[in-house]
Amino acid sequence: MARLNHTMRRGAVYVWRRRLPAGHPSYRGRYVQISLRTKELSTAEVLGPLVNTAFNDIIKPMLTEAITLEDVKTYLDSVVQTHLAQIDAARWAEAPPDSSRKWRERWMQDRAHAYALRLLSSRGPHAELMPEDMDHLRAQGFQPGDMALVAAALFQFSEQYWQKNAYPDPQETLKTDQITPQDHDRLRSTALKGAAIALERRDRRALESTPLSPPAPPTEPQPAQATQPELRPTPTTGRFSATILDVVDRLDQEEKSALTKTKRNPKSQADTARQRRTALVQFCELTGRHDVTELRNEDISYYIDCLHRLPKIYNKSAKDRLVSLEQLMARSDDLPPEEVGLGSSTINRKLSALSAMLKRARKDGIRPFEPLDLELYREKVSTQARAQRPAFTSEDITRIFQHPTFHGRQSAARPHSPGNELVKDALYWAPFIAALSGARREEICGMKLAEVHLDTDIPYFEIRPNENRGLKTPQSQRLVPIHSALLDQGFSEYCQEVSCSGETDLFPDLKPKSEHVSFGDNLYYRWHELLKRQIGPDTGGKVFHSFRHYVISQLSNEKAVDSVIIKDLVGHLNGDITLDRYRDTSLLHRLKDAVEMLPRVF
């Protein structure tokens, strides 16, 4: 390695490393290290001398500079304070916004200016918005019109800030006239950065209710358990607390009291309440609002922006649950665009939780700061209903049921390798039942043994609410004949074995250990691994529910099967008030004929 000046190997990669000359006080004792990004000695032999030559060309003029790093910091602080004072004065004289839309325009203009200043500071006077910048801005909640503000600001500031005397005079600030042209360039860049910092510190959304004084410098965020934000002292309005989570408590209690009247399944109500509370805890953490009387439209807009910045998948691991939502949003900046932003259906569901809370608050005489129109923020789900969960094809069904789960695996440790061990558990029966009935995952996995009727002329499943799970809709309660292929594969014997073991659930191996987990959730991981191995890592959006679409598609192609029979079989409304209200469900033998038209899976 002696033949390579300043070039050495660090691990598997070559780097160039050199001490800065001592001719400048701010460089003394410091090094510059650059990765050559190669593992090949021959490539390092070429790149090392090139970097060394470039370094020599750059360092010579730098040694003649008069200012130090401390001078730069001093100048930066001066620029920030100057701009903070200008911003405060301008905000004080600013007319109040006449609408939330006007307030948002001002807020986004400030953010656009800050981002443009940052770009000019780092890239020079010819900085432009690149596709990567647009992806970053989109993740930060910028819409196309907001990005146009950034482009306009880049043009404006490149003209203004790169003119002589267009930024605070460094000679006056640093009390010296020994400033070289190179130092002027550095300080000009520093001035741009300082203006951006001032705008960021005076962010309208974060500081709208704080005194007009510069906040403390930001500190590094620390990992924190952020699933439940700490509430401020409980405000009250009349007889009822106006704290958001207190309103949610009253809503939960109201729904529990109404269970006997609505005949709703208690577990279904508990699941709904849990999801609603989770969404509102998240809302409180992201917006910093804990009191209904504080809520404004701008809070809803900011919340939606944050949902668009969150990773699509988060809080799935214990590590994720220790990270705050702000840190998750910062992490999403490094993710591909397709992995960032919650889906429209998820956002609309969270808005529904907020709407339910506000409705309960109105009952208690509690009103937000201004009227809130949540419908403005609901997102249109553009995907057609039938395309949201694509159906399995006949080829998919063939490949799925060729897996060793259905013919014999090697062992529990190697479930994807063929062998002689055939275990007829939930993973075996649940897909089997779904492909031959069209029942939903939770309807199958949460079924009780008492709901399987085998000692009748036509064996059938009785799908009804039970202590394991509720049903999606009232018409989901129905009778579903058991396909003869299930009986041929020993389904009766399986039920007998489970009954003799003293269990009351059809699939006791799926019994949840937590109230926040469903029977179907416990099947998900093993089923998803099976699916990916059989039809490929990219499943094309196909999930367990695709069995249901497969069944409907198969029967719809059978001319002998009436559409009314299909809807009765899968628990759908007919869409005709006469048929839905006054007609009895199809006779069991007609449903049995339809079920038997479904092709056997093996």
Q: What is the mean pLDDT of residues 538-560?
A: 88
Is 474 within a domain?
A: yes
Determine which of 119-128, 204-213, 396-405, 469-478 has the lowest per-residue pLDDT on average: 204-213
Confidence of residue 63 (pLDDT cuts 50, 70, 90): low
530 Cβ contact list (under 8 Å, min separation 6): 400, 403, 405, 416, 427
566 Cβ contact list (under 8 Å, min separation 6): 552, 555, 556, 572, 594
Residue 292 identity: V
Same domain as 104, residue 37: no
Same domain as 146, residue 78: yes
Confidence of residue 230 (pLDDT cuts 50, 70, 90): very low
Same domain as 169, residue 85: yes
pLDDT at 265: 65
pLDDT at position 458 over 90:
yes
Confidence of residue 322 (pLDDT cuts 50, 70, 90): low
Report DSSP letters for 5-17, one per residue: TTEEEETTEEEEE
pLDDT at position 453 over 90:
yes
Same domain as 442, residue 343: no
For tokens 């699939």, what's the residue? 507
DSSP 307: H
Residue bearing the bigger pLDDT, 405 or 83: 405
DSSP 481: E
> Mind listing the pLDDT tens digit for each residue in 270-289?
778 888 998 998 898 888 88
Closest CA to 474 of 482, 483, 484, 463: 463
For tokens 């405060």, what's the residue? 88
Distances (CA, A) of 558 to 498, 512, 552: 36, 39, 10
* Helices 131-139, 144-161: inter-axial angle, 10-degree rounding: 120
Distance CA 151, CA 116 (A): 7
Across 55-85, b (16+ Cβ under 10 Å) vs e yields beeebeebeebebeeebbebbbebbbebbbe
Distance CA 181, CA 259 (A): 78
pLDDT at position 181 over 60:
yes
Q: What is the mean pLDDT of residues 477-500?
A: 94
Among 24, 42, 63, which residue terminates a domain?
63
Distance CA 205, CA 287 (A): 9
Instruction: List the strands of the sheet with 31-35, edge to edge.
Output: 7-10, 13-19, 31-35
Confidence of residue 120 (pLDDT cuts 50, 70, 90): confident
Same domain as 341, residue 422: no
Closest CA to 295 of 342, 217, 347, 362: 362
* Helices 144-161, 100-123: inter-axial angle, 10-degree rounding: 50
DSSP 280: H
Residue 298 identity: E
pLDDT at 231: 41
Kindly calculate the radius of gyration of the chain based on its CA atoms and give it in whole angstroms. Answer: 33
Residue bearing the bigger pLDDT, 398 or 22: 398
Distance CA 339, CA 350 (A): 19
Same domain as 347, residue 475: no
* CA dihedral over 428, 429, 431, 435, signed as positive or negative: positive
Determine which of 288-292, 388-392, 394-398 has the lowest per-residue pLDDT on average: 388-392
pLDDT at position 550 over 50:
yes
Mean pLDDT for all residues in the chain = 81
pLDDT at position 213 over 80:
no
Q: What is the mean pLDDT of residues 345-373?
A: 90
> Mind listing the pLDDT tens digit for each residue in 393-420?
999 999 999 999 999 999 988 999 999 9
pLDDT at 225: 44
Question: Counting Cβ atoms within 10 Å, is residue 235 exposed (0-12), middle (13-18) or buried (19+)?
Answer: middle
Is 2 within a domain?
A: no
Residues 55/41, Cβ–Cβ less than 8 Å: no
Residue bearing the bigger pLDDT, 170 or 554: 554
What are the start-end ranges of the E strands in 412-521?
Answer: 452-453, 460-463, 478-481
Same domain as 550, residue 447: yes
Tokens of 600: 């056997």
Among 344, 377, 410, which residue terminates a domain?
377
pLDDT at 163: 59
Same domain as 57, residue 88: no
pLDDT at 86: 85
Q: Which long-range contacts (CB under 8 A, 24 or more apart) does 120-127 make?
A: 120/154, 120/157, 120/158, 120/161, 120/192, 121/189, 121/190, 121/192, 121/193, 121/196, 122/189, 125/158, 125/162, 126/158, 127/154, 127/158
Is 137 within a domain?
A: yes
Distance CA 556, CA 562 (A): 8
pLDDT at 356: 92
Same domain as 110, residue 167: yes
Distance CA 7, CA 1 (A): 8
What pTM, to 2 d.p., does this model score? Answer: 0.50
Q: Percent of the chain scored above 70 by pLDDT? A: 80
* Helices 325-332, 297-309: inter-axial angle, 10-degree rounding: 50
Residue bearing the bigger pLDDT, 579 or 75: 75
* Helices 546-556, 563-570: inter-axial angle, 10-degree rounding: 160
pLDDT at position 233 over 80:
no
* Helices 100-123, 181-201: inter-axial angle, 10-degree rounding: 160
pLDDT at 216: 46
pLDDT at 336: 78
What are the start-end ranges of the E strands in 436-483?
Answer: 452-453, 460-463, 478-481
Confidence of residue 177 (pLDDT cuts 50, 70, 90): low
Same domain as 184, residue 78: yes
Same domain as 428, residue 347: no
301 Cβ contact list (under 8 Å, min separation 6): 100, 104, 377
Provide the pairing of β-strand 452-453 with 478-481: unpaired
> Mind listing the pLDDT tens digit for each residue in 256-275?
888 766 666 666 777 788 88
Residue 254 identity: E
Same domain as 449, residue 357: no
pLDDT at position 343 over 60:
yes
Q: Percent of the chain scored above 90 by pLDDT? A: 27
Task: Supply the range of the domain harboring residue 12.
Answer: 7-63
State how many domains the chain has.
4
- Residue 535 maps to which CATH number? 1.10.443.10
Instruction: List the strands of the sheet with 478-481, edge to edge.
Output: 452-453, 460-463, 478-481
Among 346, 377, 408, which residue terminates a domain?
377
